[in-house]
């Protein structure tokens, strides 16, 4: 999936003749979206699992120099995971709203209209997690509140189409995440902390960026 996306963006740049360069004092506005589906079947055992994710985000910032910008972001993430072993099935759904701030650095490549960017961001997320388990005894559903803090670096590719319009693609991250899940109707609370590289489908985002 990643290679066709990369080649398509580079092709766009090669056939574009208009100069592209963000400048100090510009305002940048980015809209991005991501979607992924993954299914796995294991035999023997008749075990099936799947994952569907959707995310959308908006960013707005100001270029302090030709290569460095700061700004704020908002977003929404949806993740649905399923597992069925023939006897018991489980479905988990996470719905998360995010707000945060970012700092971004641009690196110019030999092809002027193609740039790399590295975005450092800190964001807070809040939402719900729903777990539904079905077995011969019946169906049980639990709903929890979720709070998340994440700080990390997110690499991206920027391809200029015009002087003020660019396509963007982001994939992967190096991040620290602290996530707390709690049940408001009981004393249950669970906190998970993790740090490392992440390069799964949930990190893929395509978008457009305007400079003005």
Residue ranges per structural domain of the chain: 2-211
Tens digit of each residue's pLDDT (9 = 90 or more) over 23-73: 899 999 999 999 988 888 776 667 888 999 999 999 999 999 999 999 999
Right CATH for 2-211 from 3.40.50, 1.10.3470, 2.40.160, 1.10.10: 2.40.160
Give percent above pLDDT 70 in the chain.
89
pLDDT at 144: 92
- Asked if the model's pLDDT at residue 100 lies above 50, the reply is yes
By C-alpha distance, which of 99, 48, 54 is closest to 80?
54
Give percent above pLDDT 90 in the chain.
63
- Asked if the model's pLDDT at residue 113 lies above 50, the reply is yes
Mean pLDDT of all residues in 5-19: 49
Paired with 131 in beta bridges are 92, 142
pLDDT band at 5 (very low <50, low <70, confident <90, very high): very low
By C-alpha distance, which of 211, 212, 203 is closest to 57?
203
Looking at mean pLDDT, say which of 41-50, 58-67, 128-137, 181-190 comes out highest. 58-67
pTM of the model: 0.84
Residue 171 · residue 198 · CB < 8 Å: no
- Asked if the model's pLDDT at residue 14 lies above 90, the reply is no
- Asked if the model's pLDDT at residue 208 lies above 80, the reply is yes
- Residue indicated by tokens 């090669």: 14
- Asked if the model's pLDDT at residue 199 lies above 90, the reply is no
């Amino acid at each position: 999936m990643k290679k066709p996306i990369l080649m398509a963006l580079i092709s766009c740049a090669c056939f574009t003749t208009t100069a592209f360069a963000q400048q100090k004092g510009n305002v940048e506005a980015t809209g991005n979206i991501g979607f992924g589906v993954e299914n796995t079947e294991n035999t023997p055992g008749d075990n099936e699992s799947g994952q569907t994710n959707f995310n959308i985000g908006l960013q707005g910032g100001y270029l302090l120099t030709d290569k460095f910008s700061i700004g704020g972001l908002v977003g929404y993430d949806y993740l649905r995971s399923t597992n069925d072993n023939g006897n018991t099935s489980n479905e988990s759904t996470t719905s998360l709203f995010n707000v945060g701030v970012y700092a971004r650095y641009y690196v110019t490549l030999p092809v002027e209209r193609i740039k790399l960017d590295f975005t450092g961001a800190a964001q807070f997320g809040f939402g719900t997690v729903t777990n539904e388990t079905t077995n011969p005894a019946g169906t049980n559903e639990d709903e929890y509140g979720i709070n998340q803090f994440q700080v990390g670096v997110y690499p991206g590719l920027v391809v200029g189409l015009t002087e003020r319009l660019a396509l963007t693609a982001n994939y992967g991250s190096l991040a620290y995440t602290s996530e707390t899940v709690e049940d408001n109707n009981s004393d249950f609370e669970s906190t998970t902390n993790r740090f490392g590289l992440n390069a799964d489908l949930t990190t893929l985002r395509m978008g457009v960026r305007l400079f003005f």
